[in-house]
Structure 1
């Protein structure tokens, strides 16, 4: 399994998230997606797509760093990364940094995200 393909899919995903391109997101996300939000809420594919479709999420910045690709088998790859995300959520402007874990699985010669988790990175404040 070439990491290049997953890197390309990750970039396609990033662009689709920035543009709320529901058709591309629908293609990249498995129907049986299990996604744990930073709030602890467990989401599915339809909830994710609806958030983009309805405009609840509107991203203006999605800067990726520290992306690591961990192949586990020919058909399973875990991606971890850090993302600075800016945009509008429920009509509120936000700018936060998150850590993502995504599980890409190949089924029927097609790579899709089947599971993932996102955690907000909370800056540590100095007491001095």
Structure 2
């Protein structure tokens, strides 16, 4: 069971990565819980709608997300925690914004069997 959950989360993480690069708001909407609690690298709480709006408006433009580390910790049959180190290239509000970051995400599986991000945190890596 643990290996199945890990595989499902790895697939969800790749779907998320691709959706972020394409600013695919529809896919992001499916992956992110409406109850999302996400703290960005500035320590600000970001809602699902704020994240979707930033992608839809073009404020966030991601050219690439290169993974250098990814760990999945299944907690229960319906919860998993991910720690991932990434190098992101892109822009924010038209200004270049690239760097090394570590994300922690909590995924929860719905009664329908789909995985959604319910919480997350991002930090910069010096």
TM-score relative to the length of structure 1 = 0.93
Runs of 5+ consecutive residues of structure 2 not aligned to the other structure: none
Structure 2 residue 84 is matched with structure 1 residue 81: yes
Per the alignment, residue 19 of structure 1 pairs with: 22
Structure 2 residue 119 is matched with structure 1 residue 119: no
Runs of 5+ consecutive residues of structure 1 not aligned to the other structure: 123-128
Per the alignment, residue 103 of structure 1 pairs with: 106
- How far apart, in 2, do the equivalents of 1:75 and 1:95 lie? 33
Matching of residues 29-68 of structure 1 within 5 Å: 29-68=32-71
Larger Rg: 1
TM-score relative to the length of structure 2 = 0.94
Structure 1 segments of 4 or more deviating over 2 A? none
Per the alignment, residue 93 of structure 1 pairs with: 96
Q: For the aligned residues, what is the CA RMSD? A: 0.7
SS at match of 1:66: strand
Most deviating of 30-39 and 106-115: 106-115
Aligned length: 122
